[in-house]
Amino acid sequence: MNFFSATGIVFRRQLRQNLRNPVWIIIGLAQPVLYLCLFGPLLKPLASQIGTSNAYTFFVPGLLLQLGLFGALFAGFGLVSEWREGVIEAERVTPAPRTALLLGRVLRDCALVAVQGVVLIALGFAFGLRGDVGGMLLGLIITVLLGGACSSASYALGLATKSEDVLAPILNSIALPVMLLSGIMLPISVATGAPKWLVWLSDVIPTKYVVNGIRTAFTGDLLAGPTVWAFAWAAIFVAAGLWIGTRTFRKDA
Amino acid sequence: MIRARGLARTFQTRRGGEQVTVEAVKGVDLDVEAGEIVGFLGPNGAGKTTTLRMLTTLLAPTGGTATVAGHDLASDPVGVRRSIGYVSQSGSTASAGVKAGEEIVDHGLLYGIDRARAEARGRELFEQLDLAGMWGREPKTLSGGQRRRLDIAMGLVHDPGLVFLDEPTTGLDPQARANLWVHIAGLRQRLGTTVFLTTHYLDEADALCDRVLVIDHGEIVAADTPDALKRQVAGDLIELVLGDPSHVSLAAEHLARIASDSATDVNGAVVSGRVPSAGLELPGLLRSLDAAGVALASIEVRRPTLDDVFLTMTGRSLRDGR
């Protein structure tokens, strides 16, 4: 069984299931859209204080990261229910490479994050986001990469634990601090008056550099340090996520 | 079709902070010929599913060797997967967001079959398994028996010569079970498929299987035809229910004269014992009881079942283990 065609078969089957029940795609988009609509306007008068001329050019990259992180991090739940229905085992006894079973699913998640990201950026535009088109595209790519990394790791965790009860506390205890310390909503920097310990704490959270990089990219600075760092971190995350996912899918489950 | 030697699987678990090795399967030897329907019988936790998962490449053995459908389990697992069908206990299809027909076509594609052939084969299987008209239905809208037959169709889409069925009728009502037996027996009849099924229903093994392997505590304790296994249990069981409980010892004395090993069992007003052949012994027994003045409320004769076999082999009932 060819690796790429097996990946394609799994991808198509998964995507078809999503399209039949698009309500989850919409729910996944609801959180960042609500932040955009209900929190974004509060940032507008603070734009100069947080060191930007356009609050949405600051805020939308953060929401993109949130989308990539949260949308994909909870993908493992779907895998647990697929496992319970016997779908995973049924696929594992076929000659299809087991890595293809993972990759087809991860690519499906990447596709969903990409579509959701485009919708989010377009909505941001309606609110007043302005930026460089190439930069926004790069920001979207970084987001999708991050989403792929998260979904792969989440599938690994789902397959290893096979229990929503174990998955939920683990994922929540990762997601919330990461989101708060990445400076998605407000910048975490001494320049804008954040306490030193908090800045130090956020400095060790790699996703902070991803958000900063996407912000820089949005301004059109594609080769600036922060943008390159964001891309590098996203690549590292993808490599790590796929490594742990592949390892778990190849093992006995 | 299957040849396993010393197949074993141990698991490492922690119990009270101490590393413990659990031997789920302790070294199973088994042979299945092409065209056989073989039942794998044992209580839950006996090692049935673990053995099955090893033979279907879902779990790597920690010891032993096996050849399945002509391919070595350790060196050519993909070859094994290509040649076998597996229908797990939990099913094979998503319940919502998919259609029965799509699931079987996608499954065929994963075996490298082209779309047109997968669809033709799927429709043919739907016809044979009484699923005609279910092609466009969501699996969750099917009845339990239909869903199970869909799972079996999934396992057959690539025409495997060997099918593994893990407790195929668990959770089905009696009518659906009997119907499924007909379909499973039909697999061999029509396609010459070899069937290896696990079950903890004795009547299922009795009705369906040419041979039965009994597994307990991770070891095969018996392997033979259902009839030969039943012959190993010493004869038919006679149960005398006495009208007057004070006669039990007298009745037991009379039964012991004809019982194998002179062994009888007394439980309240019920005296029971096994005799080589109840048909031959019963008239004489009744006459002698009558002459001794022992009145019977009722009498029951039972041919040995596989449950009795299991009890004889392991000293406990199949049902205890469940």
- What are the domain boundaries of chain A? 3-250
Q: Do A89 and B78 touch (CB under 8 A)?
A: no
Among the partner residues A13, A17, A94, nearest to B111 by beta-carbon distance: A94
Which pLDDT value is given to residue B322? 41
A164-181 and A75-84 helices, crossing angle to 10°: 170
d(CA B54, CA A248): 18
Contacts of A84 in chain B (CB under 8 A): 90
Interchain contact, B58 vs A92, CB within 8 Å? yes
Would you state the pLDDT for residue B262?
73
Chain A residues whose C-beta is within 8 A of a chain B C-beta are 1-2, 5-6, 9-10, 12-13, 16-18, 20-21, 82, 84-87, 89-96, 252-253
Does residue A99 have a pLDDT over 60? yes
Beta bridge partners of B240: B271, B299
Which residues sit opposite B194 in a β-bridge?
B162
Give SS3 for A132. Answer: coil
pLDDT at B321: 47
Residue B317 has what pLDDT?
Answer: 66
CB B77 within 8 A of CB B106: no
Which H or E run contains B72?
Answer: strand B71-72
Give the closest residue to A182 by CA, choosing from A62, A54, A35, A43. A62
Specify the DSSP class assigned to residue B222. E
Interface of B with A (CB under 8 A): 56-60, 78, 81-82, 84-86, 88-98, 102, 106-107, 109-112, 151, 154
Contacts of B85 in chain A (CB under 8 A): 93
ipTM: 0.87
pLDDT in tens, B141-186: 999 889 999 999 999 999 999 999 999 988 888 888 888 899 899 9
**Distance (Å) from the C-alpha of residue A85 to the closest C-alpha of chain B?**
6
Q: Which residues, listed in sequence order, are joined to residue B164 by a DSSP beta bridge?
A: B86, B196
Chain mean pLDDT for chain B: 88
- Residues in chain B within 8 Å Cβ distance of A85: 90-91, 93-95
The reported pLDDT for the residue numbered B234 is 64
Coil vs helix vs strand at B225: coil
User: Which range is least confidently modeled, A23-27, A191-195, A216-220?
Assistant: A191-195
What is the DSSP annotation of A81-94?
Answer: HHHHTTHHHHHHTS
- DSSP state, A21? S
Provide φ and ψ at B137, rounded to 5°. Answer: -90, 150
Tokens of A64: 């993109």
pLDDT tens-digit readout, A61-79: 999 998 888 888 889 999 9
- Residue B105 pairs with which residues in a beta bridge? none
* Structural domains of chain B sorted by starting position, each given as residue range(s) with its CATH number in brackets: 2-93+158-230 (3.40.50.300), 234-303 (3.30.70.790)
Give the gap in angstroms from C-alpha A117 to the nearest C-alpha of chain B: 24
pLDDT band at B16 (very low <50, low <70, confident <90, very high): confident
Q: Which residue has the higher pLDDT, A7 or B277?
A: A7
- Residue B90 clears pLDDT 50, i.e. is over it: yes
Rg (Cα) of chain A, in Å, rounded?
Answer: 19
- Average pLDDT of the residues of chain A: 89
> Contacts of residue A102 in chain B, CB cutoff 8 Å?
none
Q: What is the length of chain A?
A: 253
- CA A80 – CA A78 distance, rounded (Å): 5
Higher pLDDT, B98 or B18: B98
Partner-chain contact A9 B56, CB within 8 Å: no
Query: Mean pLDDT throughout B304-321?
Result: 70
If you search the block for the tokens 């789902």, which residue do you land on?
A: A158
**Mean pLDDT, range A126-139, rounded to an integer:** 88
Is the pLDDT score of B278 beyond 80? Answer: yes
The band of B119, judged by pLDDT with boundaries at 50, 70 and 90, is: very high
Contacts of B90 in chain A (CB under 8 A): 84-86, 89
CA distance to B23, B32, B55, B61, B68, per residue, from B74 (Å): 20, 18, 10, 8, 10
Tell me if B110 and A92 make a contact (CB, 8 A cut-off): no
Least reliable range by pLDDT among B20-29, B132-141, B206-215, B298-307: B298-307
How far away is chain B from the Cα of A159, in angstroms, using its nearest Cα? 13
A27: its two tokens: 């729910």
Q: Do A9 and B81 touch (CB under 8 A)?
A: no
Residue B134: predicted pLDDT: 94
CB nearest to B98's CB, from A2, A17, A252: A17
- What average pLDDT does this structure show over A186-193? 79
**Tokens standing for A107?**
């690519």
Q: How many CB atoms lie within 10 A of CB B38?
A: 24
> How far, in Å, CA of A4 to CA of A9, rounded?
9
In chain A, what residues touch B84 (CB-CB under 8 Å)? 93
Measure the CA–CA gap between B87 and B196, rounded to whole angstroms: 11
Counting one residue from chain A and one from chain B, the pairs whose CB atoms sit within 8 A come to: 80
B320 pLDDT band, cuts 50/70/90, is low
| Phi and psi at residue B287, to the nearest 5° | -60, -45
pLDDT recorded at residue A1:
67
User: Is pLDDT above 90 for A185?
Assistant: no
Percent of chain A with pLDDT over 90: 46
At position A193, the amino acid (one-letter code) is: G
Q: Which of B56, B109, B119, B162 to mutate to test the interface with A (most CBs of A within 10 A)?
A: B109
Question: Which residue of A21, A92, A252 is in closest CB contact with B97?
Answer: A21
Q: Give the chain A residue whose CA is nearest to the CA of B76.
A: A95
Which pLDDT value is given to residue A46? Answer: 80
CB-closest option in B81, B89, B92 to A95: B81
Which residue's structure tokens are 């009728």? B169
Residue B210 CA, chain-centre distance (Å), reads: 11
Contact B200, B168 (CB under 8 A): no
Indicate if the pLDDT at residue B138 is higher than 90. Answer: yes
Please answer yes or no on whether B97 and A18 come within 8 Å at the CB atom. yes
* Chain B, nearest residue to A101 by Cα: B110
Average pLDDT of the segment spanning B61-75: 94
Q: Is the pLDDT of residue A129 over 80?
A: yes
Nearest CB neighbour to B94, from listed A82, A252, A253: A82
